[in-house]
Amino acid sequence: MLTPKEVAEKHIIAVKGGDPFLMADDYALDALLVRGNDLYHGKAEILSYFKGVPQRMGSASIEFLDISVNGPKVTFLWQIDRGANIISGKDVMIIESGLIQRQEVFLLTDDF
């Protein structure tokens, strides 16, 4: 079974690769993704959300920063470079039994 840090690193690689199925693969069947006022309950809804990410990202690049692990809690900052502007946020994940159980996304700028 993967540690919380290993799950987070695997998830980050999937996000950078732009594959929604690999992104959703890291979540428990009953996981919760909170993104602002939007709630995605369960792996199927989370996959549906991730299917739209590659198109929304376009050709922008994403960078992950300051990954911190405290037991099952993993926190990291990210930023998307769109050339003319930088979009940034902070994610907090609870990872147990090798899967993301809960993730909350805090946008620090406008959304992408």
Q: Residue 25's domain is classified under what CATH number? A: 3.10.450.50
| Structure tokens that stand for 27 in this block | 């979540």
Per-residue pLDDT of the chain (112 residues; tens, 9 = 90+): 999 999 999 999 999 999 999 999 999 999 999 998 999 999 999 999 999 988 888 888 899 998 999 999 999 999 998 777 888 999 999 999 999 999 999 998 877 7
Task: Tell whether 89 is covered by a domain.
Answer: yes
Q: What's the whole-model pTM score?
A: 0.90
The boundaries of the domain holding residue 102 are 4-107
- Nearest CA among 106, 107, 103, 111 for reference residue 45: 103
Task: Tell whether 38 is covered by a domain.
Answer: yes
Task: Tell whether 112 is covered by a domain.
Answer: no
Separation between Cα atoms, residue 95 and residue 87, nearest integer Å? 25
Cα Dmax for the chain? 41
At which residue do the structure tokens 């989370």 appear? 46
DSSP 8-state assignment for residue 41:
E
Burial class (CB in 10 A: 0-12, 13-18, 19+), 97: exposed
Taken in order 108, 87, 9, 49, the sign of the CA dihedral is positive
Q: Is 98:39 a contact under the CB 8 Å cutoff? A: no
Task: Tell whether 8 is covered by a domain.
Answer: yes
